[in-house]
């Protein structure tokens, strides 16, 4: 009987020791797990903060476009001049229009130029600018049998061709245009369609843009006629994703103002204005 009681006591002691060991082991395991999670979160935070900025743009001459496999243009030069002053060396990438906008809205720390600052876009991004103010007009062939001179005529024209996506087609739709052909994938296509008689009117570029593509496509002076109806007037800006650091926004704004005050911004504008001229 005594042996049985001693055995029982020993067994109970062993169980308490085993349970104590397991509890201690589990506590240590939990502490280790917590340390690992905390470290992982800190690392993730570090990587998020360290993610580099990327600058994206679309093909829209003469502000941002590719020539001889090099990204160039009026706004491109302004952005590079800004980064020279701020000491930034962000990657610059030319993308299709819809993809550039998607990247700006979905990728952290993304910058896009050049973009019109509209009421709809205002809360979506942080802004630096303006770079330059521009207007968009319709164009038709100078020898068109029915020159368009009024908004009413424009609304009832047989066909108006624009690019398939972007601000211009959305704006024209909101103005009540029912005669839009959104088949053009690039600006050059607008002019080729107009010259080939496949459309009556094109809308998509500023006056500087029309001059640029006319020179590029060897369109003789006097071939195109600007319809005297201003479709849109606004300034071009640089847009930043909302997570962008305010210090970066302030530095870029200060650098752009420095370019403006020094006259460099105007010199860049005139250089491209002359290059796009007849």
pLDDT tens digits, one per residue of 148-173: 999 999 999 999 999 998 899 999 99
Q: What tens digit of pLDDT does each residue of 103-152 get? A: 999 999 999 999 999 999 999 999 999 999 999 999 999 999 999 999 99
> Within this chain, do residues 145 and 222 fall inside the same structural domain, yes or no?
yes
Is 198 a domain residue? Answer: yes
* Domain at 178, CATH number: 3.40.190.10
Q: What tens digit of pLDDT does each residue of 44-66 get? A: 554 444 579 999 999 999 999 99
Tell how far CA 152 is from the center of its chain.
34
Beta bridge partners of 128: 238
Long-range contacts (CB closer than 8 Å, 24 or more residues apart) made by 156-159: 157/200, 157/201, 158/200, 159/199, 159/200, 159/201
> Within this chain, do residues 116 and 95 fall inside the same structural domain, yes or no?
yes
Burial class (CB in 10 A: 0-12, 13-18, 19+), 38: exposed
> Within this chain, do residues 207 and 93 fall inside the same structural domain, yes or no?
no
Is 10 a domain residue? Answer: no
Expressed as residue numbers, the domain containing 249 is 54-132+236-276
pLDDT at 17: 39
Is 13 a domain residue? Answer: no
Is 7 a domain residue? Answer: no
Q: What is the distance between the terminal CA atoms of the chain, rounded to a whole angstrom? A: 117
**For the chain, how many helices (H) and strands (E)?**
9, 12
| Calpha distance 142→146 (Å, rounded) | 10
| Calpha distance 257→105 (Å, rounded) | 26
Total domains, the chain: 3
As a whole number of angstroms, the longest Cα–Cα distance in the chain is: 123
Where residue 73 falls (left for φ over 0; alpha for ψ -120 to 50; beta otherwise) is left
To which H or E segment does residue 122 belong? none
Percent of the chain with pLDDT over 90: 77
Q: What tens digit of pLDDT does each residue of 202-245 get? A: 999 999 999 999 999 999 999 999 999 999 999 999 999 999 99
| Calpha distance 89→87 (Å, rounded) | 7
Mean pLDDT of 29-51: 53
Is 172 a domain residue? Answer: yes
Q: Of 278, 277, 272, whose CA–CA distance to 76 is shortest? A: 272
| Calpha distance 148→180 (Å, rounded) | 16
Beta bridge partners of 160: 180, 201
> Within this chain, do residues 217 and 242 fall inside the same structural domain, yes or no?
no
The pTM (predicted TM-score) of the whole model is 0.79
């Amino acid at each position: 009987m005594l042996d049985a009681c001693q055995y029982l006591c020993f067994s109970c002691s062993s169980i308490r020791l085993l349970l104590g060991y397991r509890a201690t082991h589990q506590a240590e395991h939990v502490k280790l797990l917590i340390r690992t999670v905390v470290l992982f979160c800190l690392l993730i935070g570090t990587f998020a903060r360290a993610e580099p900025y990327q600058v994206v743009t679309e093909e829209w001459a003469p502000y941002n476009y590719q020539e001889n496999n090099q990204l160039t243009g009026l706004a491109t030069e302004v952005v590079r001049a800004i980064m020279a002053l701020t000491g930034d060396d962000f990657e610059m990438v030319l993308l299709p229009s819809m993809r550039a906008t998607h990247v700006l809205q979905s990728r952290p720390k993304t910058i896009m130029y050049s973009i019109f600052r509209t009421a709809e876009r205002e809360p979506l991004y942080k802004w630096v600018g303006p770079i330059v103010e521009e207007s968009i007009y319709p164009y038709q062939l100078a020898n068109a049998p029915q020159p368009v001179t009024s908004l009413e005529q424009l609304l009832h024209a047989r066909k108006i061709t624009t690019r398939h996506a972007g601000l211009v087609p959305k704006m024209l739709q909101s103005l009540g245009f029912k005669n839009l052909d959104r088949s053009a994938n690039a600006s050059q296509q607008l002019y080729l369609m107009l010259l080939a008689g496949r459309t009556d009117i094109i809308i998509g570029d500023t006056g500087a843009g029309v001059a640029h593509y006319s020179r590029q496509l060897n369109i003789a002076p006097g071939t195109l006629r600007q319809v005297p109806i201003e479709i849109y007037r606004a300034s071009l800006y640089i847009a930043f994703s909302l997570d962008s650091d305010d210090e970066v926004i302030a530095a870029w704004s200060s650098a752009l103002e420095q370019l403006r005050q020094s006259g460099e911004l105007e010199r860049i504008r005139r250089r491209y204005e002359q290059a796009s001229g007849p």
